[in-house]
Each structure stands twice: as structure tokens, then as C-alpha cells.
Chains A and B, each alone.
Chain A
């Protein structure tokens, strides 16, 4: 099973890959910051909103208590004032008179004295005591207005009860207590108005909106005293339900566009009417300190992000900019430009890298110069061979085709030219022929004056090295006309050329001393090639190859020139002249070659007359070919002085 990172598709599927280091750093820094800050903000937000709500709930609960307390306190005050009247002897006397006007006047007097909104007196058992009401002074003797209030008082220990009552569109907090004469004879009712100003008083001390609602007969809750503005007050009516009373926590309610945290506390049910207190604080006001904190946190967060982005950008830049410079430098080096060092003025690891990069560049430039020079001094292939391997003396056996070329009449030409002209001429010539060698992927082994030694098969071999060598040789000879034209050489100054090619096993390798050496080949073929080159002018042909070379080139047509025994070799060697590509030979040339082969066969079978006849015809037809006159001379020689019986047609050359 492959390790997880071995499969790149898996990696790219699991994680998004960044192309840029800077993007990665920024993403990391920003991501970290966003996560941390986001969690902090959320936590703070959560805690603050919860705290704000809890704080508001606590405040509202306390305010609800305070409001209930206020109602109880007012009740106490009312009771006190009612009891004062109940104990007033003069009032009892007035009651005892049974005079309605007097009674009403006395009640009015006491009401004004204690600052109450309403006072009433109702008989317990009907007449003879009359009912008197400061709110309805003209009405006498009617039934009790608030039967449930009175019956609550009748049920209580001390004949005392209180309630909130609605009368004539206004609401009152009423207290009832008996009038003792000294038996309880009548009920004294006293009341304060419950109105907006009372709610406003509470709001002033608590900062909370206070509304009192009654559960009307229609089923809905109607506010009858409130600190809310008219619009909110109207919309409050439909938003309160019995459920809210039991919530024991505040509920957010939207009233005319403002959100209020709302606390509903029952005041109690009096008779058929339930009354509830609604305490409210604006959510926005409650959250205001928190919103300020959050605004500050957001600004802080934004600044943090900005600073982080900037910091990350700069920090990443400290890495990516030198890297970009180094990449540029590497690209310059790839393009072969070693002149410009990379400039990274940092004293960190990247600075060290840049320094080391520059040193590497200098090293590479040095090596490249050496390699360049080597490629010029030796052939590029040889230079490559030398650079690619450990340099050591010694070599390997290889089958190589060795090519030798020489300018035929160079000595006589050089005598008639100035040295500078000569060198220029030679360079032009050598450049041209070297190009042909390289064109056929041969290797120029060395220049020896005007002579060129080229190798096919070392250091790198091809299967058709012999063919390449012969084609190179023919190409070299063929290019001479162009070279002469280019150099403006005419007549006797025209360059002639001879090329010898021999194929055989040689040793290829480094020769010399370990401090100074050449890559070259050594072997019989080298000498043979040199000798064959020397034979070209004797036979008047451009190229002479040995039998092994010819045998390795089935694609080419050759004609045999001779069988020779050259200096330093005992074995006779058949030598051939390449005529051209098989199948592309002109008919005339092929015919000439056939007649020549016939003549050569007659010559070798000592049929001098037949040979001479054929040779004479050929010489007449081809006056510039030196082979035919050469053989006619031999025929003449052998007629006069017949060869020994062991003669096999071999010509022995003593000179080079």
C-alpha cells in the first residue's frame, strides 16, 4: 500500500494547493486571526447579550417588586386616611344626622384634606344611612358600585379591602374600611387615581417603562396607565397574554418599531377584572454599552486584520522576493548568462542562499568556459566524453572508421602566399570540411597542418560508421569547387584534395600523461587511412578506401583500383574508389567501371595485349584519369620484364 503522499491526486483532493508562498502565509495568518477573533467575538457577543438580558431581567423583576411595593404603600396610605376618617367623631355626628348634603360635604372636606381622588360612604345594610360619593355628588341612595370590593372587605378580618377599579373612563386604586359608630354601620371608600403620572413617577426612579393593563370584558388586555408614547401604547394591547405572566423572564416585543424587553407581573384579579403590570426596557438601550464594546471590538478586529495582512504580506515578501530574484537568476543561468549575480541584501538564510547561489554561478561560468574551450580545442563529442567520465589514461577497443584528408598541393600553394593569407585560407577550408564531418556525426580528432583526421565510431558509435565516413569523404571532395570559388583560387592555386578511409579495430581513449592528454585512437587503421590518403594522388582519384570499409558499405558502388602492399604492412590490401550511391550511378560511369574491371582482370591474368587495348581505349575516353596511363605503363613494363611466377597483381609501395 502506497503512503498517503505518494498519490498526488489524493493530496490535491484532500487539500487546496497554493501556488504562492505569499498566499499561503496570508491565508494562514488571516485564517488563524479570523478563527481566533471570530470565536472571541462570538463568545463576547453571547456573554454580553446574555448578561444584558439577565441584567435587564433582574432590573425588571426588581422594578416589578418596587411597583407592587408602591401599590401596597399607597394602599397603606389610603387605609390610614380612611381609618382617620372612620375615627373622626365629628364625621360620625354628621353621618348620624342622616343629611345627604352634610354627609357629602363632610366627605368632600376629608377628601381634599388627605389629597385623595375619590371618597364614598355606603351603608352596610341600606337605609337609614345614605350613600354619598364625591364623584357622583348628585346621586344618592344607590346601590354599592363595587360589590366585589365590599364583599372582599366583608370576608376579611378587619373589614379592609383594596382593589383597582375603573369608573367613568378612569382608574382608581380604592381602599374600603368600615365606619364604626361604634358598630360598623357603613363602608368608607377612599381612592387615588392611577394614571400616567403615577407610572411616570416610577419610571423616573427606575428608568423603566411602566404600563398597567386590565383584562377587559372583550377578552383583550387594555393599557389604562402607561409611560409609553401613544403609538407604542396602542400596539402593546395586542401583545400581552396570560402566558407572559408565567414566563418569569423578559420577552422581547416589538412595539411601533422599537424592541422592548418586557416583563409582565400580575397585580391580581379584583372581581371580574384582572390587572397586570407591564415593565419594559428598550433592548437597544439595554444593549447600548455592549454595542459600544462590540463596535470597539470590530474596529480592533479590522485593525488586527489590516495589520496582519500587511505584516503577512511584508513577511512573505521577505521570502518570496528573494526567491523571485533567485528564480530570475536561475533562468538567466539556464539561458547561459553568468554575468549578473543575484542581489539579495538580507542577512538571513535567504541571504546565505543567494551568496551561495552566486558562488555556484561563478563556478558554473568557469566550468562552462572550460567546456566551451574544450569543445573548440577538441571535438564537441570528445569534450562531452571527457566531461562525462572520470578522466583516466587508457582506452577501449572499438571498430572505428578513420578518415584522413589532405590538401594535395598545399606546400606549393603555401610558398606563394603570405602567412596571414595562408592561415585565413586554411581556416576557411578547415571550417568547411570540419562542418561536413560534424554533419555526418563524425569527430574531428585533430588537425595536422592542412590535414584533418576524423573518427567515425569513437567516442560514440553508429551502426553505419563506415558509410558515414565514406560519404563524408565524398562530401569533402565535392565541396572543393565551392571552397575554391569562395577563396578566389584559380589555376595552379586551386586546391586539390585526397581522402583516405580505413575501417578496423582500434584502441580509443586518453593518451599522454595524467596532466596533459589527448583523446584519440591508435591502431592499424589509422596508419592505413593515412597511407590510403597518400595513394590518392598516385591514382588521380579523390577518395581511396580499404576493403573492410568497402565491405561495410553495401549501399555504395565502388570500383577496385589496385591491390597494394603499403609500407609497414606485409598483407596486400585491395583499395577501392567510391563511385556513388547504389542505384544513383550514371550509366556512363557504370559502363566505364565495368570496362575497367575487365581491363584489370586481363592485366592480372597477364593478358597484356587485351589489357592494354582496353586501357588505351579508356585512357583515350578519360584523359584526366591517371589510373589508365598508370596501368599502361605497368603493361609496358611487364612486357619488357615479365613479373615473377608468384605475382598476383599486387603493387608494393616502399615510400609513404
Chain B
């Protein structure tokens, strides 16, 4: 499934490669590249009818941050041997898929822009973010802090990151690239329970 998600993103990238791509680099206050940051253009409107997956592998959501256009359906395939209980109390999408194995029959539709935080009721540390964008122009930074927004050459670029402190002002892009700096805030996450006796329940 990971490959599917990657190949989807790659397809978008390749499709717009002919036209101009907007390269966005995100760094934090100390100059380090920031991964998992969502960068998007301010232009609104439009809906997507695509579908993507957020997998559950080894009691973690993969990927950690998923950016989708409003109207995208996301399915939550469970690759572990144990059940998971996906929930969200976020305003953009409050939902719950009680304990299940395998792939749920119906994907979840995200039709309201905003950030949706996903948790697992039985694994406190499992967490994933879905950024529902009101634009088709968005991307997620890689480990080098770089993202390419396909099919766009300029505009007001905004950024969002799970640990971002406050709201960074949008920045105008020019020349096909833009550098963004965000302030990271301190946050905490529940400690992952160690595997009892090394047994695996995936």
C-alpha cells in the first residue's frame, strides 16, 4: 500500500513535470529541514474524488502525515494481526472505526477542510494526521524538508506541521521555489508500550 501511495504521488509529480513545479523547502528555527510539513497554495475551490490509504503497520499509522484534497476518501487497511480502533475527535472529521481487522468495507470521506488527528483507542501512541486541503495544490515535505507542488509556479504558499507553533503567514513564491521557516513547539506523546517478552502481535 505504501508503494501505491508513493506511486500516486509520483504520478502527480510526473504529470505536472512538463509544466512548472513549485519547490518548497521547510526549515525550523535552527535551520534543520522539517519533514512531514504540508505546504499548499492559497487558491481554494475544487473537489477530488480520489481515494487513498492510511495503513496500520506494526502498530503505527503509515504515513504519519497525509495531505488530501477536500472530497478524498481514505481507507484504513490494518496490516497487523491484532485489531485496531481508529478514531478522530477533530472538528474537520469526527469518526470512529471500532475494532477491526483487515480493510474496512467503506473508506472514510474527508469533505471538510482542516486537520484531522487520528488515534487508536487501544494503542495510545498511534497517531496520524490528515490535512484536508481546500486546494489541489499541496505537497508534504520529505526528510530533506523539500516538497514539490505540481502544476503551480507561484502564489501564496502556506505551511502546516503537527508541531508548528501558531500560524505562519503565507509567503509568496517566485521563481519556482520558496523557503519557509516554522517555529516548532514542544509536544508530548504517550510512550509506546514495549513488546511483552518480544512476542509479536502484528
Contact = CB atoms under 8 A, between A and B. Distances in A.
A76 to B, nearest CB: 15
Which of A89, A93, A157, A178 has the most chain B CB within a 10 Å cutoff?
A89
Interface in A93-109: 93, 95-96
Interface centre among A89, A155, A183 (most CB of B within 10 A): A183
B192 interface: no
Contact of B127 (A86, A89, A92, A182): A182
Interface string A146-159: 00000000110111
Interface in A76-95: 86-87, 89, 92-93, 95
A178 B126 contact: no
Interface string B13-52: 0000000000000000000000000000000000000000
A425 interface: no
Contacts of B124: 86-87, 180, 182
B89 A87 contact: no
Contacts of A155: 186
Contacts, number: 44
Contact of A159 (B120, B126, B127, B188): B188
A85 to B, nearest CB: 12
A183 B190 contact: no
B188 A158 contact: yes
Nearest to B189: A180
B97 to A, nearest CB: 13
- Most chain A CB within 10 A, of B119, B127, B189, B190, is at B190
A183 B121 contact: no
A184 interface: yes
Contact of A183 (B125, B127, B191): B127
Contacts of A182: 117-120, 124-127, 189-190
Interface residues of B, number: 20
A96 B188 contact: no
A89 to B, nearest CB: 5
B200 interface: no
A157 B190 CA distance: 11
Contacts of B189: 180, 182, 184
Contact of B190 (A87, A92, A96): A87
B151 to A, nearest CB: 32
A61 to B, nearest CB: 34
Contact of B187 (A89, A181, A183): A183
Contacts of A184: 187-189
Main secondary structure of the interface of A (DSSP, over half): mixed
Contacts of B126: 182
Contact of A181 (B85, B89, B120, B186): B89
B94 interface: yes
A176 to B, nearest CB: 12
Nearest to A97: B89
Interface in A509-553: none
A96 B119 contact: no
A128 to B, nearest CB: 8
A158 B190 CA distance: 8
A178 B125 CA distance: 13
A86 B125 CA distance: 12
A400 B191 CA distance: 147
Contacts of A96: 89, 94
A95 B187 CA distance: 20
Nearest to B162: A183
Interface in B103-154: 117-121, 124-127
Nearest to B188: A159
Given A87-B124, A92-B89, A158-B191, A183 B186 contact: no
Contacts of A183: 117, 127, 162, 187
Contact of B119 (A86, A158, A178, A180): A180
Contacts of B187: 183-184
A178 B188 contact: yes
B99 to A, nearest CB: 11
B130 to A, nearest CB: 13
Interface in B48-96: 85, 87, 89, 94
Contacts of B94: 96
A585 B105 CA distance: 188
A453 B189 CA distance: 153
Given A92-B89, A96-B89, A96-B94, A180 B121 contact: no
Interface in B157-175: 162
A418 B113 CA distance: 185
Interface string A164-206: 0000000000000010111110000000000000000000000
A575 to B, nearest CB: 162
Nearest to A185: B89
A89 B126 CA distance: 14
Nearest to B89: A96
B121 A89 contact: yes
A125 to B, nearest CB: 10
B56 to A, nearest CB: 14
Nearest to A155: B186
Contacts of A158: 188, 191
B101 to A, nearest CB: 19
A138 B19 CA distance: 62
Contacts of B85: 89
Contacts of B125: 182
A180 B127 CA distance: 10
A183 B126 CA distance: 10
Nearest to B125: A182
Contact of A154 (B120, B121, B186, B191): B186
A180 B89 contact: no
B166 to A, nearest CB: 10
Interface in B176-196: 186-191
Interface in A532-580: none
Contacts of A159: 188
Contacts of B117: 181-183
B14 to A, nearest CB: 34
A292 to B, nearest CB: 57
Given A87-B124, A96-B94, A180 B186 contact: no
A155 B162 CA distance: 18
Nearest to B117: A183
Contacts of B191: 158
Contacts of B188: 157-159, 178, 180, 184
Contacts of B190: 86-87, 180, 182
A375 to B, nearest CB: 132
Given A158-B188, A182-B124, A183-B127, 6 more contacts: A87-B124, A89-B87, A158-B191, A180-B124, A182-B117, A182-B118
16 contacts: A86-B190, A87-B124, A89-B85, A89-B87, A92-B89, A154-B186, A155-B186, A158-B191, A180-B189, A180-B190, A182-B118, A182-B119, A182-B120, A182-B124, A182-B190, A183-B127
| Top 6 A-B pairs, shortest CB-CB distance | A182-B119, A159-B188, A96-B89, A182-B127, A89-B121, A183-B117
